[in-house]
């Protein structure tokens, strides 16, 4: 693997950025000639945009001048180089993931996209797990997903009504939706705050109705306004007893189009948090 570039190359009088001492495209006479990690990532993203994901497919565009120039590359990496360097990034674990998340955050902040708030003034932050079908493969992490096929179960988060992706993490197919989600939220919420100053409304389905997740969300309020709306999962609850409590004590609310609901609060010791239900 080539040595990392120094932050300020002393022998280059035309240094402009840490990506390259002269321009984003290197030339053979440059002492920092070679494939940077950013160039490898650009090449692989370009490959994905053509509908190809396997490393060997890069060989078909190595002589393509348009592919090279459109991505502002000095050279298109070979298949072995691409595989080895991306494997090395994967082995870097959280450090590589943090770097990619920060790059995504900077991209959104620089682009200043339209972020449409909800009627309440909140900016929606939706997250959920989904499945990727990898049936018939023996890839690491492939397992039986909740959809009944073998694959992965990644988790993703999207900001605002436009749905800008703020977080995306690959997970084994057998992993439960709520498992390790508090850690995901602790990484996600600071990135959302870096993009917007509006209060956040975190929304999730009943697969994330769990104590640890609520505790993580409550702790996030120390850094700024955040509310959440999580669909109730009635597991282990005596629904009939709750219904009787609603009838006896809940506030009756009338929504638009003739819809009615009742709102009340329940404190569960094992939750160590105030859970609000409506139904």
Q: Is residue 76 located within the same domain as residue 131?
A: no
Q: Is residue 252 located within the same domain as residue 194?
A: no
Domain membership of residue 64 (yes or no) is: yes
Q: Is residue 86 located within the same domain as residue 132?
A: no
Domain membership of residue 108 (yes or no) is: no
pLDDT in tens, 31-45: 445 678 888 889 999
Q: Is residue 185 located within the same domain as residue 265?
A: no
pLDDT in tens, 199-216: 999 999 999 998 899 999
Choice between 2 and 73, residue whose per-residue pLDDT is larger: 73
**Mean pLDDT for the chain overall:** 80
Is the predicted pLDDT of residue 271 greater than 90, yes or no?
no
3-state SS, residue 275: strand
Q: How many domains does the chain have?
A: 3
Neighbours of 101 (CB within 10 A): 19
Q: Is residue 127 located within the same domain as residue 64?
A: no
Domain membership of residue 154 (yes or no) is: yes
Q: What are phi and psi of 181, to 5 degrees?
A: -65, -35
Q: Is residue 83 located within the same domain as residue 169?
A: no
**Could you tell me the residue range of the domain that residue 238 belongs to?**
234-279
Is the predicted pLDDT of residue 6 greater than 80, yes or no?
no
Q: Is residue 120 located within the same domain as residue 213?
A: yes
Q: Is residue 19 located within the same domain as residue 78?
A: yes
Three-state SS sequence of 95-133: HHHHHHHHHHHHHHHHHCCCCCCCCCCCEEEEEEECCEE
The model scores a pTM over 0.85 = no
CATH number of the domain to which 223 belongs: 3.30.420
Confidence at residue 253, expressed as pLDDT on a 0 to 100 scale: 63
Q: Is residue 120 located within the same domain as residue 221?
A: yes
Confidence at residue 94, expressed as pLDDT on a 0 to 100 scale: 72
Is the predicted pLDDT of residue 157 greater than 90, yes or no?
yes
Is the predicted pLDDT of residue 275 greater than 50, yes or no?
no
Is the predicted pLDDT of residue 181 greater than 90, yes or no?
yes
Domain membership of residue 158 (yes or no) is: yes
Q: Is residue 138 located within the same domain as residue 176?
A: yes
Q: Is residue 135 located within the same domain as residue 156?
A: yes
Q: What are phi and psi of 58, to 5 degrees?
A: -65, -25
Domain membership of residue 44 (yes or no) is: yes
Domain membership of residue 163 (yes or no) is: yes
Domain membership of residue 107 (yes or no) is: no
Confidence at residue 23, expressed as pLDDT on a 0 to 100 scale: 44
Is the predicted pLDDT of residue 27 greater than 90, yes or no?
no
Confidence at residue 58, expressed as pLDDT on a 0 to 100 scale: 94
Residue 265: its H or E element: strand 260-268
Domain membership of residue 75 (yes or no) is: yes
pLDDT tier at 28, thresholds 50, 70, 90: very low
Q: Is residue 155 located within the same domain as residue 212?
A: yes
Q: Quote the DSSP letter at residue 5.
A: P
């Amino acid at each position: 693997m080539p040595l990392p570039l120094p932050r300020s190359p002393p022998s280059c009088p035309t240094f402009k950025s840490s990506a390259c001492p002269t321009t984003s495209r290197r030339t053979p006479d440059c002492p920092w000639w070679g494939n940077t990690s950013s160039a490898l990532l650009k090449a692989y993203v370009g490959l994905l945009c053509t509908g190809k994901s396997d490393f060997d497919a890069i060989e078909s565009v190595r002589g393509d001048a348009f592919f090279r120039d459109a991505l502002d590359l000095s050279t298109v990496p070979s298949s072995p180089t691409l595989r080895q360097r991306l494997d090395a990034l994967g082995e870097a674990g959280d450090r590589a993931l943090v770097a990619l998340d920060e790059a995504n955050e900077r991209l959104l902040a620089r682009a200043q996209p339209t972020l449409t708030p909800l009627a309440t003034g909140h900016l929606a932050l939706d997250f959920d797990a989904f499945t990727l079908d990898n049936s018939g493969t023996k890839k690491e992490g492939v397992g039986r997903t909740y959809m009944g096929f073998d694959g992965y179960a990644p988790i993703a988060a999207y900001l605002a009504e436009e749905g800008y992706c703020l977080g995306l993490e690959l997970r084994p197919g057998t992993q439960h939706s709520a498992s390790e989600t508090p850690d995901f939220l602790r990484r996600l919420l600071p990135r959302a705050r870096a993009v917007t100053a509006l209060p956040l409304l975190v929304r999730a389905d009943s697969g994330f109705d769990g104590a640890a997740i609520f505790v993580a969300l409550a702790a996030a309020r120390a850094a700024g306004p955040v509310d959440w709306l999580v669909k109730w999962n009635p597991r282990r609850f005596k629904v009939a007893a709750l219904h009787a409590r609603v009838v006896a004590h809940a506030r009756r609310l009338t929504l638009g189009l003739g819809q009615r609901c009742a709102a009340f609060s329940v404190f569960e010791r094992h939750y160590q948090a105030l859970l609000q239900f409506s139904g």
